[in-house]
Structure 1
Amino acid sequence: MDPLTGGWTTSPLAGDSLRVRVEEPSAAAGVRRRITVLAERLGFGGERLGQVQLAATEAATNLAAHAREGEMLLRIVRDGGGPALEFVCVDRGPGIADVPVSRTDGYSTGGTLGLGLGSIERLADRSGLYSRPRVGTVLYARFRPPGSPSAPGPPMAGLAVPIDGEDECGDAYTAWETGDTADGRTVYAMLCDGLGHGPLAARAAWAAIGAAHETPSPSRPADVLRHAHRRMAATRGGAVAVAAVEPAARRVRFAGIGNVAAWIVGPERRHGMISVPGIAGAHTERIREHAYPLPPGAVVVLHSDGLTSRWRLTDQPGLLGRDPLLIAAALLRDAGIRHDDRSVLAVTTSAATASDVTRSDDTASDVTRFGGG
């Protein structure tokens, strides 16, 4: 199966994702140019293109004016709802002291993204925000091409960023949600960290992704992993983890090779899942599958060793249960190691809170110009 079709949430290909540092006012113009190129590839034009440009420019302007170490990830995402354009903003403070008030039109704050936040949320088809004073803010906004049907946000989201100096990321992820069965719906999630960096590592990671897309569903995680192991034999190999998240059964089934970290994170604690030593595509111990209890409302997180394992969602009040993209972005910012490829995939098991905003159709053409800062 083509990795960009079907009901999959998959890493963007090289060229579909751009990372932009936003630390000075001139960066906003660069963000506007780059997101215009991506938007036009998806058929955005006219008023809708103007809305995308406005939202991205407002986000970049406020990052430059108020944030520390601001970055934006601009990307084309494809899942069961079809292609969409998305930007993700992250910074390291000072954060927003009162998020509901910051959404009020005309309100200016010394924290990140104060003025203009309300307009970004109205213009986007879906958006989300999480902020902590003195820590920082993560925000995303997603835009469907004109004429695209409305679609709910999937319960999984990921981010992958290459090491500085490389255009291709050696990490890749994919996730897909099965239809209703006797045991309810299941989300299959895979993350692969190709050995090394650059194009050869990316080739190994995408071999694993391709194997997952070829495996009939439903399948056991161990079977998906075995298929990936065989497919990666012609590459330099890597570390691979596969999870089947079954909220109705309150269970996660898991199989992994190598050092992709896998966690079940509940309200009180997190529990690690076990991979066997080895290199997928080269040599490994016998592949084993384990089953773990899934607490109500828990999130399942897979990440490469580009993130340290010294993180706890309990240090992020209110983040558990939010949109999976907010969780992934916060973890990438707080646990990411900058001298490696970095990737994280989050699968939620409860509905996102009302703070994750979906635009209603009656505000689709509501365009209001706000100043920065």
Structure 2
Amino acid sequence: MSGGTVAQLPEGLLDGGAWFRVEAAANASAARRAAERLAEQLGLPGNRIADLSIVTAEAASNLVKHADQGILLVRTVRTELQAGVEIIAMDQGPGMADLERAIGDGHSTAGTLGIGLGSIVRQASWSDLHSVPGKGTMLVAQVWPADPPPPVWAAGLTRPLAGESISGDAYAVREADGRYQVLMCDGLGHGGLAAAASHEAVRAFFDAPPVPPAAVVEALHRKLNHTRGAALAVAELDPKAGLVRYAGLGNISGTVISPGSRRGMISLPGIAGHQRRQIREYDYPIGPDAFVLMHSDGVVDRWNLADYPGLQFRSNTVIAATVLRDAGTRRDDAGVVVARLP
């Protein structure tokens, strides 16, 4: 497996974006302005910036009107050819039982015109939505300068602990000789030094040859010896073999989730860059309806897929954001990444 090629995604994955707690109109306006500034920096044409402004304003307005603990994330999304802006709006409000009716213009649960969700769907280049009564709603919308790219095989997000502006967690994905590798990393502690360790792990991950996960983890361990260290794990999805190969050091949780089943993957004790007794790789079967979910210890395993009807059929971003919303703690950096067989 030496030699070969590695297709890398841009290091925009290190951009955790800007988080906004949206509880009043002023917060909604701040989120809209941030989205517009980001779009201008990325060089989106004026008509697409106008569309993004509508998407962000409507998403934030819905949080103000309907949500409990409404939060909105504005961040960059990238391919090798273009960059766009992604809006993730999440809440723990009443939720919706009939999404199709809610998206249709004229429906409202707050006595308004009810055009918000329909407008978001029309103006966005791509959008996805999931809602569960009593648990809340998750909305993801992207605005691209041209046609949107095809759905990605992996997606994730990170969030800093309360009071910090930068997260010590990071993730990255790459294609390596027809196999698909995912890194989840948690720099020790929090703040700038933790982020520096995770960012170094991401750079080393992209630089590593297309070798199996255990060899990648070994390479990252060597590269992190000048940092404070990190917990990290690498999963490799192999469509031809129908397997996930997994190797990790420290408190990174990896799980293969299928309808009706959930199987944890093994990470061994250690700190990449400083302490490791051994690095071992384990194989797990994965079927076409399954997905791999990896997260840092800022996310707890207290969620159950059965409590979220239809979630496994939504986009990887919606799944990752839902887990972060409901199982992430505010006392630590938190990161989640979800991957499927392409």
Q: TM-score range by the shorter chain?
A: over 0.9
- Alpha-carbon separation, structure 1, partners of 2:324 and 2:107: 29
How many matched pairs?
336
**Structure 2 equivalent of residue 295 of structure 1:** 287
Partner residue of 1:357?
none
Given that residues 20 and 72 in structure 2 are in contact (C-alpha distance below 8 angstroms), is that contact kept between their aligned partners in structure 1?
yes
Question: Which of 155, 158, 163 is 2:156 aligned to?
Answer: 158
Q: Which amino acid aligns with 2:295?
A: H
User: Is this contact kept in 1: 2:13–2:171, CA < 8 A?
Assistant: no
Identify unmatched segments of 5+ residues in structure 1. Answer: 1-5, 180-184, 351-373
Cα distance 1:115–1:10, how it changes in 2: closer, same or farther (>3 A)? farther
Q: Secondary structure at the match of 1:94?
A: coil
User: Which secondary structure state, in structure 2, belongs to the residue aligned with residue 85 of structure 1?
Assistant: strand
Which secondary structure does the structure 2 equivalent of 1:26 belong to?
helix
1:241 aligns with 233
1:75-109 superposed Cα distances (whole Å, 9 cap, x missing partner): 01223453221010100011112101111122213
Give 3-state SS (helix, strand or coil) of 2:317's partner. Answer: helix
Return closer, same or farther for 1:9/1:249 CA change in 2, 3 Å cut-off.
farther
The superposition leaves residues 139-169 of structure 1 with CA deviations (integer Å, 9 ceiling, x where unpaired) of 0101112xx4542021110000111111111
Closer, same or farther in 2 for the Cα pair 1:31/1:316, shift >3 Å? same
Q: Does 1:107 align with 2:107?
A: yes
Greater mean alpha carbon deviation, residues 270-279 or residues 16-25 = 16-25
- Residue 335 (structure 2) pairs with residue 347 (structure 1): no
In structure 2, what is the equivalent of residue 323 of structure 1? 315
Query: Is residue 44 of structure 1 aligned with residue 36 of structure 2?
Result: no
Partners of 2:25 and 2:88 lie apart in 1 by: 18
Q: Could you say if the C-alpha distance between residues 151 and 178 of structure 1 is closer, same or farther in structure 2, counting changes exceeding 3 Å? A: farther
Change (3 A) 1:13 1:178: closer
Q: Does the Cα contact within 8 Å between 1:90 and 1:136 map onto a contact in 2?
A: yes
Alignment-derived partner of residue 248 in structure 2: 256
Alignment partner, residue 89 of structure 1: 89
Paired amino acid for 1:171: D
Percent identical pairs in the alignment equals: 43
Aligned CA distance change for structure 1 residues 82 and 69 (closer, same or farther; 3 Å): same
CA contact (8 A) 1:10 1:175 kept: no
Q: Is the Cα–Cα contact under 8 Å of residues 94 and 136 in structure 2 kept in the other structure?
A: yes
Give the counterpart of 2:203 among 210, 220, 233: 210
Letter in 1 for 2:338: A
CA gap 1:65/1:150 in 2 versus in 1, 3 angstroms:
closer
Alpha-carbon distance, 1:124 to partner = 1.2
Shift of 1:9: 6.5
CA displacement 1:199-222 (0-9 Å, x = unmatched): 0000111111111100123x2011
Contact 2:51–2:143 (8 Å) recurs in 1: no
TM-score, L = length of structure 2: 0.93
Aligned partner of residue 312 in structure 2, secondary structure: coil
Residues 44-67 of structure 1 show CA distances to partners (whole Å, capped at 9, x for unaligned) of 242221111011001101110111
| C-alpha deviation, 1:11, in angstroms | 6.0
Q: What does the per-residue CA deviation read over 1:177-229, in whole Å, with 9 as the maximum and x for residues that have no partner? A: 346xxxxx422100100000000000111111111100123x20111111111
